[in-house]
Amino acid sequence: MGIRIQELDPVIMTDDQIHTPVLLERVIELLEPSLREPGAVLVDATLGMGGHSAGILERFPEVTLVGLDRDPDALAIAGERLARFGDRVHLVHTVYDGILDALDDLGIDEIQGVLFDLGVSSLQLDRVERGFSYSKDAPLDMRMDGTSELTAAVILAEYSEADLRRIFRDYGEEKLAARYAQKIVEARADKPFVRSAELVDVITKATPVAVQRQGHPAKRVFQALRIEVNQELAVLERAIPAAIDALAVGGRIVVEAYQSLEDRIVKRELQTRSTSSAPAGLPVELPEHRPELKLLIRGAELADDDEKAANPRATPVRLRAAERVRRGS
């Protein structure tokens, strides 16, 4: 197998820890026409534990997979899970905006399919020590790639009150961003934040009781910190256009997003590339102005009740897909 990363330590997972991939059958249905092409290559840009990839490789025995992930633990698990597919699999340790470099290193000029299953993975949520969950006390880490330097603790210690307010507002869509930023700066003057429970305590005390009844007060702050630590939105803004550029004509992109900020970026890029760029009033649309993409789903598709019951992680998913119909200029 072409695992193009440093030697990985084995990670043992039991069957009940290998989570069911979200909307697997629907994803396969959307990708199938392009993956039937001879020599088809699929990029799983958010490989995780390899659930989607395993299902696709089983269904399409001629497909070659390029799996990308920034998390070495996920790559180790996926490597074990996908080993039976031999040299049809190439795993790359990279953030998904590195898709074009990864393909170039593998000598692949174009691909027939690309899948993004965005957000924090089940593996990362389940590892308490990674610090992603506000409901369990853990070090304030939140790195998807443990080899990177920026952690949630560093942000809480070093960012100004204005910057904390900005990320809580912009990345968490938190209405109490200003209050939380102020209280965090006041608290860190006495003692730096080290563990998640310390942050949850400050946020909870700063939250009116009526607001607490609407949901856990730390949820949006933790989301904002995770996005900032991993630069998720900036990476996504680069990754979606790059993935589309890598698609052959007839190739397809499928994206599963779990919160509105991600979905907004995906929606904007797919809509832009599926709309004619011809100036208004032209009597004839010139070929260079024709859309590059054809949308395969109107709006965003949601999971049905059966899917949600079988796989609760599917509850917030927004699914979008498009086919490339023309090369860009």
State which amino acid sits at residue 31: L
Q: Which token pair is 87? A: 């040299």
Binning the chain into helix, strand and coil, the percentages to the nearest 5 are 50, 15, 35
Q: Is 117 annotated as a binding residue?
A: yes
Distance CA 64, CA 87 (A): 8
For 57-105, the DSSP string reads HHH-TT-EEEEEES-HHHHHHHHHHHGGGGGGEEEEES-GGGHHHHHHH
Pick the closest to residue 43 from 245, 230, 233 (CA basis).
Answer: 245
Residue 16 counted as an annotated binding residue: no
Q: 69 labelled as ligand-binding?
A: yes
Please tell me whether 50 is known to bind a ligand: yes
* Pairwise CA distance, residues 78 & 56, whole Å: 14
Contacts 24+ apart (CB under 8 A), 313-319: 313/19, 313/20, 313/22, 313/122, 314/22, 314/23, 316/258, 316/259, 317/22, 317/23, 317/256, 317/257, 317/258, 318/256, 318/257, 318/258, 318/263, 319/23, 319/26, 319/27, 319/254, 319/255, 319/256
Known binding residue 146? Answer is no
For residue 75, count CB atoms less than 10 angstroms from its CB and return exposed for 0-12, middle for 13-18, buried for 19 or more.
Answer: buried
Binding-site residue positions for S-adenosyl-L-methionine? 50-52, 69, 96, 117, 124
Binding-site residue positions? 50-52, 69, 96, 117, 124
